[in-house]
């Protein structure tokens, strides 16, 4: 059975690109355009993996990670950050907030799929 991935990004073009990458790799994809919508969707549909941008208005990707990891129903869902934040300190901080894998945009389909596969259980 195909794994379900929730993709979170406030940029429609990025949502589409990441969706295409993962769908063509055999994943079932749903999307959210902000952290609040993503949190509600994650609780309702319990995706196998979440791929999120970190730089978003209102609820950032890091805040979303903290919310997901604090909630008993979503705490075990692996999270892949897909972001333009490319400094080592950003990656280290993201891991402390619950990110399991980190991909820097722009990324190739191979990079993203590899990161998603690396956290897949």
Report angle CA 70, 59, 29 to the nearest 5 degrees: 80
pLDDT of residue 57: 87
Does residue 26 surpass a pLDDT of 80? yes
- Spell out the domains of the chain, with CATH numbers in brackets: 4-119 (3.40.50.2300)
Can you give the pTM of this predicted structure?
0.95
When pLDDT is cut at 50, 70 and 90, the band that residue 71 belongs to is very high
Give CA 38 to chain center in angstroms.
10
Residue with tokens 């999120």: 52
pLDDT of residue 1: 78
Does residue 121 surpass a pLDDT of 70? no
CB distance 70 to 98 below 8 Å: no
Rg, C-alpha atoms of the chain: 13
Sorted by sequence, the CB contacts under 8 Å of residue 54 that are 6+ apart come out as: 60, 61, 62, 81, 83, 85, 90, 94
pLDDT of residue 51: 98
Alpha-carbon span 76 to 111, nearest angstrom: 23
């Amino acid at each position: 059975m195909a794994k379900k991935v929730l993709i979170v990004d406030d940029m429609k073009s990025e949502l589409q690109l990441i969706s295409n990458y993962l769908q063509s790799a055999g994943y079932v994809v749903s999307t959210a355009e902000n952290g609040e919508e993503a949190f509600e969707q994650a609780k309702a549909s319990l995706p196998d993996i979440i791929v999120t941008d970190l730089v978003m208005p209102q609820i950032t990707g890091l805040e979303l990670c903290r919310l997901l990891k604090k909630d008993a129903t979503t705490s075990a869902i692996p999270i892949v950050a897909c972001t333009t934040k490319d400094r080592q300190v950003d990656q280290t901080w993201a891991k402390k907030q619950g990110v399991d894998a980190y991909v820097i945009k722009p990324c190739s389909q191979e990079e993203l799929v590899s990161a998603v596969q690396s956290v897949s259980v």
